[in-house]
Chains A and B, each alone.
Chain A
Amino acid sequence: MPKGAKNIIVKMEKVNKWFDDFQALCDVDLTIFEGERIVVCGPSGSGKSTLIRCLNGLEAHQSGDISVHGTELRGDAQSVRQVRDNVGMVFQQFNLFPHLTVLENCTLAPINNGKMDAQAAYDKAMTYLKRVQIPEQADKLPGQLSGGQQQRVAIARALCMEPKLMLFDEPTSALDPEMIKEVLDTMVSLAEDGMSMICVTHELNFAKRVAHRIIFMDKGRIVEDQPPADFFKKPKSPRAKLFLEQILSH
C-alpha cells in the first residue's frame, strides 16, 4: 500500500458473476486504496478480465457489492455513468475509433460529456498525447500507427477523462514484442505519478517493478493477494506455484 493512503477507491464484497452456467467470479472480496497499483494475473479463463470489466459496469455482477470511488454499482444507468466518469479503461485490442483521427479519438468523449469545451478538450488531448510521446501523430488515423502507438493513444484517450482509476485489460497481449516496452514505459510513468491502477497482465517484470500487490486468480476466485516480492518468492497456493513455474520457465 502506498504511504499515507487511506481512501478506498475500490471495494468488492462477496461478488459473484455467472455467464449462464459458468461462474466467472466466485465470492470475490477486494479492497483497493487510492494510489495503489494492482496487477492481476492467473491462467486464462480465471476471471481476471471479468473482474475489471465488472468495475466499470461493462459486465454486470449478479450478487455482492461493488463500489468504486464511493459510488455503488447497482446496475442502474445512473450509478454506472457515475462510476465510468471516474474510471478509465485500456483494452487489449486498443478499440480506437478507426474513422477518427488520433486527436478526435481523445476529444470525442470529453466534449460529448460536456466536461469541457472544444478548446479545453483540444488542449487536454495534446497534453496527454505529449505525455505518451506521440503529439506529432495527432492528425493521423489509428490505422496509420503501429500497435504500440495505438495503445499509447488509447491510454491518452482514457486519461483525457481525468479518471481516478485506470483499468488495463492485457494492454500488451496484442502487441509485437518490440512494442511492448514503449507501452509498459508509458504505464510505469503513469504509475510514478501516483495513478491508481489495476492491470491484468502477464508481464511479470512490470509487476515486480510497479505493483504494490499482485492478485492471482483461479477459477473465478482470488487465490493470492500479496506484495510482488512475497508472491514471486513464496506463493502460498500450489496453483500459483505451478503458474509461476510455467510462466518463468521459458
Chain B
Amino acid sequence: MGEFFIEIFGKPHGIILFQLVAACRFTIYLSLIAFLGGGAIASLITLMRIAPSRHLQRIATAYIWIFQSIPLLMLLFLIGLGVPGLLDINVNPWTAATIALVLFTSAYLAEVWRGAIESVARGQWEASFALNIRYSSLLRKVILPQAIKFGIAPTIGFMVQIIKGTSLAYIIGFSDLMLVGKRWANAPVLGSEPFVIFPLMAVMYFCICYPLAIFARKLEARSIAKNA
C-alpha cells in the first residue's frame, strides 16, 4: 500500500501522504468509539434527566453541567496527564483519549437528546398518562419515535465536532492524523513544510467531515418538510 503511494507521488510526498491517510484511521476509530460510548452513556443520562425522580434528574443535570463546562483540552490534560501523574501510573494515550472524548460526547449528546425529547408536545405525555400507558412503553412507542426527528440532525452535526475534537488528543501523544501531520511539519525534510502539510491535513479533515455535514443538513431538511 505504501509503495503504491510512493509510486504515484514519489518521495517524500508519497510517504507523507500514506502516513497521513493511515493516521486518519485512528482519527476515525477514536471518533467512532467516542460516539458509540458517549451515545450509550448519553442515553442513560437522558433517561435520568427526564425521569420522574428528582434525585436522578439532579445527578444527570450535574453530570451534563460538569462535563459541558470543562473544555475538551482540559479533560484530555486531566485524564491523560493529571490523573496518571497524581496516582503515579501509566495511562496509554488511547485509553486517556477515549475516556476524555466519551465523557465530553456523552454530556453533549445527553443535552441534545433531552432537548429533542422536550420538543415533543406536552399533550403526548398527557394523553399517554390518561391512557395508562406504562412509562417504558410511553417512551418507546410514543415519545422517542417523535423525538428522533428533532434529535437526529444535531446528533450527526455533533459527530463533526467529535471528529474535529479528536485532533486535540495529539497533545497527550495520541497518534492520529494531527500528531503524524505535526511531526512531519516539524521534520527537516524538503517538501514537508508546514505550509504544505497543514493544508493537506485540513483537506483530509474536510473529507471526513463534509459528507456528515451534508447528511445532517439533508436529514434536517427532510424533518422540516415533514413537519410543515
Q: Decide yes or no: A112 and B141 within 8 Å by CB, A95-B121, A99-B146 being known contacts.
A: yes
Which segment, of B18-26, B87-95, B125-133, B172-180, faces chain A? Answer: B125-133
Contact residues, A133-172 vs B (CB, 8 A): 157-158, 161
Majority SS at the chain A contact face: loop
Instruction: Tell me which residues across on chain A come within 8 A of B133, comparing CB atoms.
Output: 108-109, 112-113
Instruction: Tell me which residues across on chain A come within 8 A of B141, comparing CB atoms.
Output: 100, 108, 112
Interface string of B107-125 (1 = CB under 8 A from A): 0000000000000010110
Instruction: Tell me which residues across on chain A come within 8 A of B146, comparing CB atoms.
Output: 98-99
> What CA separation (Å) do A98 and B146 show in the bound complex?
8
Q: Decide yes or no: A97 and B124 within 8 Å by CB, A58-B129, A84-B129, A112-B141 being known contacts.
A: yes
Majority SS at the chain B contact face: helix
> What CA separation (Å) do A90 and B128 show in the bound complex?
12
16 residue pairs bridging A and B, Cβ less than 8 Å apart: A57-B129, A58-B126, A81-B132, A84-B130, A89-B130, A91-B126, A91-B127, A93-B121, A95-B126, A95-B127, A97-B142, A98-B146, A108-B137, A109-B128, A113-B134, A161-B132
Cβ of B120 to closest chain A Cβ, rounded Å: 10
> What CA separation (Å) do A113 and B123 show in the bound complex?
20
Q: Decide yes or no: A109 and B132 within 8 Å by CB, A91-B127, A95-B123, A95-B124 being known contacts.
A: yes
**Is A85 at the interface (CB under 8 A from chain B)?**
yes
Considering residues B131, B145, B146, which has the most beta carbons from chain A within 10 angstroms of its beta carbon? B131
**Is A32 at the interface (CB under 8 A from chain B)?**
no
Cβ-defined contact, B132 with A91, below 8 A: no
> What CA separation (Å) do A81 and B138 show in the bound complex?
14
Among residues of A, the one whose C-beta sits closest to the C-beta of B127 is A95
Cβ-defined contact, A161 with B131, below 8 A: yes
Q: How many residues of A are in contact with the other chain, CB < 8 A?
A: 24
> What CA separation (Å) do A91 and B146 show in the bound complex?
19
Which 8 A-B pairs give the minimum distances between C-beta atoms? Answer: A109-B131, A95-B123, A95-B127, A89-B130, A84-B132, A112-B137, A99-B145, A112-B133
Instruction: Tell me which residues across on chain B come within 8 A of A58, comparing CB atoms.
Output: 126, 129-130
Interface string of A76-106 (1 = CB under 8 A from B): 0000010011011101010111111000000
Cβ-defined contact, B124 with A56, below 8 A: no
> What CA separation (Å) do A85 and B137 show in the bound complex?
16
Cβ of A11 to closest chain B Cβ, rounded Å: 20
The interface of chain A, by Cβ under 8 A from chain B, is: 56-58, 81, 84-85, 87-89, 91, 93, 95-100, 108-109, 112-113, 157-158, 161
> What CA separation (Å) do A99 and B147 show in the bound complex?
11
Among residues of A, the one whose C-beta sits closest to the C-beta of B123 is A95
Cβ-defined contact, B134 with A88, below 8 A: no
Cβ of B11 to closest chain A Cβ, rounded Å: 58
Cβ of B51 to closest chain A Cβ, rounded Å: 13
Instruction: Tell me which residues across on chain B come within 8 A of A93, comparing CB atoms.
Output: 121, 123
Considering residues A57, A85, A95, which has the most beta carbons from chain B within 10 angstroms of its beta carbon? A95
Instruction: Tell me which residues across on chain B come within 8 A of A57, comparing CB atoms.
Output: 129
Instruction: Tell me which residues across on chain B come within 8 A of A108, comparing CB atoms.
Output: 131, 133, 137, 141-142
